[in-house]
Amino acid sequence: MTEESKPSAADRPPLRPPAGADGGRTRLGLCSVTFRRLPAAEVARRAADAGLEVIEWGADVHAPAGEPGTVRAVREVSDRHGLRCCSYGSYFRAGPAESADFPAVARAAVVLGAPRVRVWAGATGSRSALPDERRETVRCLREAARIAADHGLELATEFHGGTLTDTVASTVRLLDEVGADNVHTYWQPPLDTPDEQALAGLVELGDRVTAVHVFSWWPGNHRLPLAERRDLWGAALGLVAGRGVDALLEFVPGDDPAVLTREAETLRRATEQAPSIRHDRP
């Protein structure tokens, strides 16, 4: 990275506060990819009208890293509606083919005011990845973490199939291998996984989790109102209570903007009613 490409101290967003900062309150927000078909201004307006306070802007449609003017306009839209950008939902996949792309991703996150960049742990599932492929993913994540730190950013891996963070065990192993203080993970309930098993995974990940993607799918990717999985989300929000973890609505039924206020209210009630459940990792 050249000196010219490094952000000034004034441009850098603050690193994620430690657990307990601001009371460790769970912030409620929206992933903009939920409404890919809507312009950014409409997404922000609807999020604010639903009483949400943070937003994860997606890099695929609303805030592409290669379009600085668009990214600046999205930041202005966020500010206008009183929304903080909690994360930049990038589609950067750690590996040799995309390593050179990360500096632009980091710069876009700074423009958005996002303290966190969501990244993907390669493009192969943990059971299929060859040792050399895993090592390359780790190496690229370490380099991305270094660049992110130069920009005052943290990284968080998507907890998703087809990557090295497709299981809890592989996620823990990967984060240990990367060994960077500014690298964490997202969590979401794996498809078709019983509640008890999904929640056990969240317990195991513990304070490595920086945000959760909130949706109600069952079976498979059949989208239900959030209230139909209230037991799962009540317990999950209890597990992350007091840790400053963001709860971000994603992929509502029918991709229908009209249900956002209802879903946000369900999430708000679940957060308020969730008991704080301490499960510290040994």
Counting Cα atoms < 13 Å in the Cβ hemisphere of 66 gives 6
Residues 222, 213 contacting (CB under 8 angstroms): no
Per-residue pLDDT at 16 exceeds 50 = no
Residues 117, 145 contacting (CB under 8 angstroms): no
**pLDDT for the residue numbered 61:** 97
Q: How confident is the model at residue 274 (pLDDT cuts 50, 70, 90)?
A: confident
Q: Specify the range with the lowest mean pLDDT, choosing from 7-16, 32-41, 98-107.
A: 7-16
Residues 182, 15 contacting (CB under 8 angstroms): yes
Range 181-195 average pLDDT: 97
Domains assigned to the chain:
3-273 (3.20.20.150)
Per-residue pLDDT at 17 exceeds 60 = no
pLDDT tens-digit readout, 226-247: 999 999 999 999 999 999 999 9
Per-residue burial over 116-154, b if 16 or more Cβ lie within 10 Å, else e, is: bbbbbbbbbbbeebeeebbebbbbbbbebbebbbebbbb
Range 208-218 average pLDDT: 97
